[in-house]
Structure 1
Amino acid sequence: MGNSTENTLEKVLTSLLTPYKKSVTDVTKITNAMLAAGIIENEKDIANDHIAFRTLGVKHLGIASFEKIFLHFGYEKKGFYNFEEKKLNAYWYAPPAEHFPRIFISELRVDDLSEQAQKIIYKYTDPITQDPIDSLDLDNITDVANFFYKPLWGLPSSEEYTTLLNETEYAAWVIYNRYYLNHYTISIHDLPEGYNTVEDFNNFLEGIQIKLNTAGGKVKISGDGLLKQSSTVAKMIDATFSDNKTLKIAGSYVEFAERKLLPEYSETKKEDIKRNYRRDGFETANADKIFESTYTQQTK
């Protein structure tokens, strides 16, 4: 990966995270509390484990379209995940260099929904007659940065949003928020002793009145026990719809991930640990419950 490509990717990620941090107030609250407690000396001490996006699995959109941005910057497509009950597919992408976050992209299997839900979604996506990524100059920072916040389809009505919400909360989130960054993830194992497990960090978070997602328990643990995750509950935001009605809907949230050492590296000294010594990838059961950080059962 050349320096210019790496610099462009760095700026693209910054363009994503800057508005996200302004919108998700928990980010600043957590960062300031970490600074005050001496957990970190500078915001740059926080390692970003991964960022995640939600998409709609329809022609010209979805994973096949959205992934082109990150593949262009050297990301490598890795494991596939199927969320049967939520009707979702997902992939994760390994970064071109260790200091960049992993990417997690999910998409809704729209054709698995009811006829009514499909009709609403296709009303907004059918006018998109070509892949919007294909018209982007992926080496142009402004082009790429603007794309993430560019409305590819019109605002739904409050009634359409509510109809989708009653069937699939994922669809309702995407139809309004579009490609907005769903969450970023603080890497917990990189923090100092006393804060470097999800359990300890959750205690710290609750001590500063951060509300945690309890779906599947506050700590989501992979089958091999090597990946632990937790997340905040998305804050409710005021959303105005095409019929000029305003509803409170779920925004984005913050996730926390602890990747334990693989068995063959379990005796490695801390200063000798490399990224690939730790459990990589994701876990379907964990992610399934993390999705619910924006769901009514949590946000209410």
Structure 2
Amino acid sequence: MVSQMIDIIVNGKREQVPSGMNVRKLRDWVKPDANIMLINGYPCSLDEILKQGDQILFIRKGEVPDPHEFDLLFASRHSRKVQEQMKKATIGIAGLGGLGSAVCIALARMGIGHLIVADYDFVEPSNLHRQQYSINHIGMAKVDAVVEIISGINPYMKISAHRVRLTVNNISDIFGDADIVIECLDQPEEKAMLIETVIEYLPDVTVIGASGIAGYGRSNHIVTRRLTNRLFVIGDLASEVKVGQPLMAGRVGIAAHHQANLVVCLLMKDPNDVVADVD
């Protein structure tokens, strides 16, 4: 008598197994040295019976998934359609402070294929209040610290790191291969220079900037606006840094994740759902 088969997903890959198979038999077939077993995101016993549609993850503690397995795991969460678009993308990030360091981490978790990052600065103790660095990064170049952080999240992401101050003369060379450039700089004149240079000299590149993210509260005032076909700005366009209204981790983080979310929408060619009407 032929056993009835059920469809399951094992470490991100679709498989058919006999109905009534337990986790132990599957583990011994797929990954005998696994010592952590999860079904549908929860720990399970080796004797648990598999059911139609179950998603099973076998892990050996401390082992880094190989590139193929890593890709399958991302695709199982994001869908293959989204993951393929993420893998093909090259994203530039200008500045690795509160915005840039957070955007880098979000994009690494989203499976972006190639990041181009640029910053001339070093991590100092005062950066820890809103930037994604740790005590052990103090004194490191920010580009080096970001590479270290990302390698612990997505070791197969390509990163091109430039420890340099961005100018009109080098922006095109640094970001020429990018599909999208995210402006994460501090000073208004630097922000304007970056945006104007990309718009003028890199005609195929879209820019995502930020303006008005200082202070605390008013989370829902931070929105995504389309200013032109190639320029988007995140923020409330009003909250500038001043006495009593500093840059703080909460609002900076909200803006950074608006930027990262817009990257996905643009790559999937569907930005309209996240864009507010320009006042």
TM class by shorter chain equals under 0.3
Q: Under a length normalisation based on structure 2, what TM-score does the superposition of the two structures give?
A: 0.28
Higher relative contact order (CA 8 A, sep 6+): 1
Larger radius of gyration: 2
Q: Which has the higher helix share?
A: 1
Q: Under a length normalisation based on structure 1, what TM-score does the superposition of the two structures give?
A: 0.26
